[in-house]
A = this chain, B = another copy of it.
Amino acid sequence: MKKKLLAASLALIFGAGAGYVVNTYAQQKPEVLLKQRQGAMALQGKYFGQLNAMAQGKAPYNAQIVVRNAGYLAALSEMPWDGFSPDTKDEKSRALPAVWSDAGQFKEAQERFQGAVAKLVAAKGDETTAKAAIGEVGKACGACHDHFRAK
C-alpha cells in the first residue's frame, strides 16, 4: 500500500514537475513579469503580422517564412501566460480584470490560440492549409483581445 502510494505520488510529482518548477521560478517582481509577458505578445505580433500580410495578399507567400514563423509562434504561444500572475494586477497594462476574474475563459482563449498555431505548424508551409490556419490564429488573437485586453 505504502509502495503504491509512493509510486502514485512520484507520478504526480513527475507529471506536475514542469508546472511546479515554472511556478516556483515565477516568483519574479511584478514589473519583470509584465515586461516578459508583453515581450511575448510583441513577438507574437511580429511573427504573426508577417504571416497575416501573406494571408491577406499584401505580401508574397513564402513557405520558408511560414514554417519558420509557425515554429516561433508555437514557442511564443506558451510564454505569456504565467506572467499574468495575480500580483501583476496593479501594474499599468491593457490587461482587463477579466484575466483574473474569468480565469477559466482566459485559459480557454489561450488554448484556442495554441490549437490554431498547432494547425499552422501541421500545415508545413502548404499554402492553402497554412492560409486557413493563419486566419484561425488571427481570430483567436482577436477573440482573446476582445475579452481580456483594453481597447
Contact = CB atoms under 8 A, between A and B. Distances in A.
Interface of A: 17-18, 21-22, 24-25, 28, 32, 35-36, 38-43, 45-46, 49-50, 53, 59-60, 62, 64-65, 68, 71-72, 75-76, 78-79
Given A43-B43, A72-B75, A59 B17 contact: no
A22 B65 contact: yes
A32 B76 CA distance: 17
A126 B45 CA distance: 34
A71 B75 contact: yes
A145 B110 CA distance: 34
Contact of A18 (B28, B65, B75): B65
